[in-house]
Amino acid sequence: MYPVLFEIGSIQIYSYGVALVLAFIAGIYFVSREAPAKGVSQDRILDLSILIGLSAIIGSRLAFVMLNWSYYARDPSLILTGIGGLSFHGGLFLAFLVSLWYVRRHNIPVGITADLIAPYLALGYAITRVGCFLNGCCYGKPSDLPWALPATLAEETLRHPAQLYASFMNLLIFAGLLHIKEKKPFNGYVFVAYVGLYGVYRFIIEFFREVDFYVSFLTLAQLVSLFMIAASLLLIKYWPWGWETVNNEGYK
């Protein structure tokens, strides 16, 4: 609705960009604040946060381009111009791989670090979806509900404010992860739970979003989400597979 939040002279400050920066800052602040108590260096967390931010953006962009390759193949220069959007699944996947490489290279406890970060992925996602709402992207299907809104100020069609649904649901995930993080049966549990809960959220929200990519009667995102849910449940049931467990005295 308000893609340009405000202007400073001739410079336009975009809503989505502001939300992305706020999400990143919030994540760094909270994770670095908690890290020393878990035996993780703040300097390492700061370096890791930068890597996560960069790899998440690159992975999200690459996934979006791959899903829309027929469009970008006509003019590959559009890939770098910012035209189009991002795909969270791609960003999460690449950020996970880069993070795993970094923590193993520097002998940082994998499970503890993953659990530190997981709740703030949900919080950052919730903040970013508010940016989507203001930007007018990732909008919902047409609706006649009392709270339905147009995707942009110029549009007459009223739609589900799917971005706000997404933000609210991820705030619930954030609160749930904070609740379980001190009661986890093994290190890595909070992150694995996040993967499953994100899958549940994304499967549900797809019914309200205006989506282009379908595989049979499900969207592509729903199929990926089902895989995330299944992987999460299997990991919780058959853990540990080489990560740290928690003993009665605390972290191992």
Using one digit for the tens of pLDDT, what is the confidence trace for 55-88? Answer: 988 988 888 888 777 778 887 777 777 666 778 8
* Residues contacting 125, CB < 8 A, separation 6+: 23, 88, 166, 170, 198
> Does residue 239 belong to any structural domain of this protein?
yes
Reported as type and span, the H/E element at residue 14 is: strand 11-14
DSSP string, 172-240: HHHHHHHHHTTS-SBTTHHHHHHHHHHHHHHHHHTTTB----EETTEEHHHHHHHHHHHHHHHHHHH--
What CA–CA distance (Å, rounded) separates 44 from 153? 44
Helix (H, G, I), strand (E, B) or coil at 109: coil
**Sheet strands (E) in 92-213:** none
Which pLDDT value is given to residue 250? Answer: 41
Q: How confident is the model at residue 240 (pLDDT cuts 50, 70, 90)?
A: low
Residue 147 resides in a domain: yes
Q: For residue 25, tell me if it sits in a domain.
A: yes
Whether 148 is covered by a domain: the verdict is: yes
**Which two structure tokens, joined as six digits, stand for 151?**
């995707």
Structure tokens at 176: 């749930």
In a domain, 92, yes or no: no
CB 62 within 8 A of CB 54: no
Residue length of the chain:
252
Confidence of residue 246 (pLDDT cuts 50, 70, 90): low
Enter the pTM of the model. Answer: 0.85
User: What pLDDT score does 153 carry?
Assistant: 78
Write down the pLDDT at residue 227: 94
Asked if pLDDT for residue 216 goes beyond 80, the answer is: no
Number of structural domains, the chain? 1
Task: Specify if 54 maps to a domain.
Answer: no
Among 36, 86, 41, residue whose Cα is nearest residue 60: 86
Q: Which amino acid is located at 3 in the chain? A: P
79 is a domain residue: no
Asked if residue 225 belongs to a domain, the reply is yes
Which residues span the domain enclosing 168? Answer: 4-40+109-251
* Joined tokens for residue 29: 């602040």
Average pLDDT, the chain: 87
